[in-house]
Copies of this chain bind each other. A is one copy, B any other.
Amino acid sequence: MKAQATLEELAALFGGKVEGDGSLPIRGIASLEEAGEGEITFLAESKNRRRLEKTRASAAIVPANLPSFPKPVIRTPNPYLAYAKVQAFFQQKPLAPRGVDSRAFIGGGVKIGRDVSIYPFVYVGEGCEIGDRAVLHPGVYLGESVQVGEGSLLYPNVVVMDRCVVGKRVILHPGTVIGSDGFAFARDGAKFVKIPQVGIVVIEDDVEIGANCTVDRASMGKTWIKRGIKTDNLVQIGHNVIVGEDTVIVAQVGIAGSTEIGNRVALGGQVGVVGHIKIGDGAMIGAQAGVGQDVAPGQILSGSPAFPHREWLRAQAAFQKLPEMKRTLAELEKRIKALEERITEEKE
């Protein structure tokens, strides 16, 4: 059974301002097209106002500046954020911890907090510490001495190798691997000798990592995923990489070893970043770009290799005209030759 709330109660979740009957009971939130009687909907931007007019919802969350509307509304500068909070409210489930299933394996010396859910076929290695309310879904593997903070959610088949540290309220999506060996070999003639990877991975609080990602443990020291980072699926983060707070990493990005990424950086889909460089705070890297050297804070880059986005746009536009430029060049060469010959003739 899902939660129910009055319009006034919902507005309080995000500090919105109610217009109309604040005691109206609401039982869910849905899109403009799909919301029905008894539900609230939301309009992200005033320019799409027409779509709002047709909604069957009983109320709407709307931008602060929207003209008046016949149904009850909650005004807010950020309707999308309001949607996130209201949807989370309706989706919340009463805490129903399953405890430790008898078909899970729990190693010696493991400390387990209160109200956890440890499903069948979970493997928890010796000396692990699992915080209150943590959820370990089926097939999760924790190596020796792994720490998982309170409220963290490890989806099915997540692997966290020995000694790695996962903070509080972290979400690791299915199949993600934390703490596999970094890719490091010393040459011995034609052969390669493995460099033991004795470091760990530290994932700070409120991080969310997508499905089937890989985050390698450090050669020495730590690979460091700081507070609030969000990554999409199939992302690769190499050994000893540091990623700053609130950075966003889109799907299939690869970051090579020992690179340091600042706070609030955005890396677009399929971006590649070489090792041993720094990307400054607030930088934005366009999809499929290849970053080969340091990036100053706030820079916006595209291309492979990457350079400033605006210049890249112009260069790309010119690129598509290259065959034409080549023809023009050949033609100009002919005209110059003709001029040179005429002038020489005249002189003679």
Contact = CB atoms under 8 A, between A and B. Distances in A.
A320 interface: yes
Contact of A254 (B34, B186, B246, B251): B251
Interface stretch (A17-25, A45-53, A64-72, A339-347): A339-347
Nearest to A238: B251
A336 B332 contact: yes
A270 interface: yes
Contacts of A105: 103, 120-121, 138
A154 to B, nearest CB: 12
A256 B269 CA distance: 8
A112 interface: no
A151 to B, nearest CB: 13
Contacts of A314: 322-323
A30 interface: yes
A250 interface: yes
B141 A123 contact: no
Interface string A235-258: 010100000001010111010100
A88 B274 CA distance: 27
A181 B292 CA distance: 31
A260 to B, nearest CB: 16
Given A78-B186, A220-B30, A246-B190, A141 B174 contact: yes
Interface in A82-108: 83-85, 87-88, 91, 103, 105
A288 interface: yes
A180 B84 contact: no
A339 B346 CA distance: 13
A103 B190 CA distance: 42
A160 to B, nearest CB: 9
A227 B75 CA distance: 43
Nearest to A235: B234
A295 interface: no
Contact of A190 (B84, B188, B264): B264
Interface stretch (A4-12, A128-136, A210-218): A210-218
Contacts of A208: 194
A335 B322 CA distance: 21
A329 to B, nearest CB: 6
26 contacts: A34-B220, A84-B193, A84-B195, A87-B196, A88-B196, A105-B120, A137-B141, A155-B159, A171-B181, A190-B264, A192-B228, A194-B208, A210-B214, A272-B288, A274-B287, A311-B323, A315-B319, A315-B320, A315-B322, A315-B323, A317-B323, A325-B326, A325-B329, A332-B332, A335-B340, A339-B343
Interface of A: 30-31, 34, 78, 80-81, 83-85, 87-88, 91, 103, 105, 119-121, 123, 137-139, 141, 155-157, 159, 161, 171, 173-175, 177, 180-181, 183, 185-188, 190-196, 198, 208, 210-214, 216, 220-221, 228, 230, 232-234, 236, 238, 246, 248, 250-252, 254, 256, 263-264, 269-270, 272, 274, 287-288, 290, 292, 304-305, 307, 311, 314-323, 325-326, 328-329, 332-333, 335-336, 339-340, 342-343
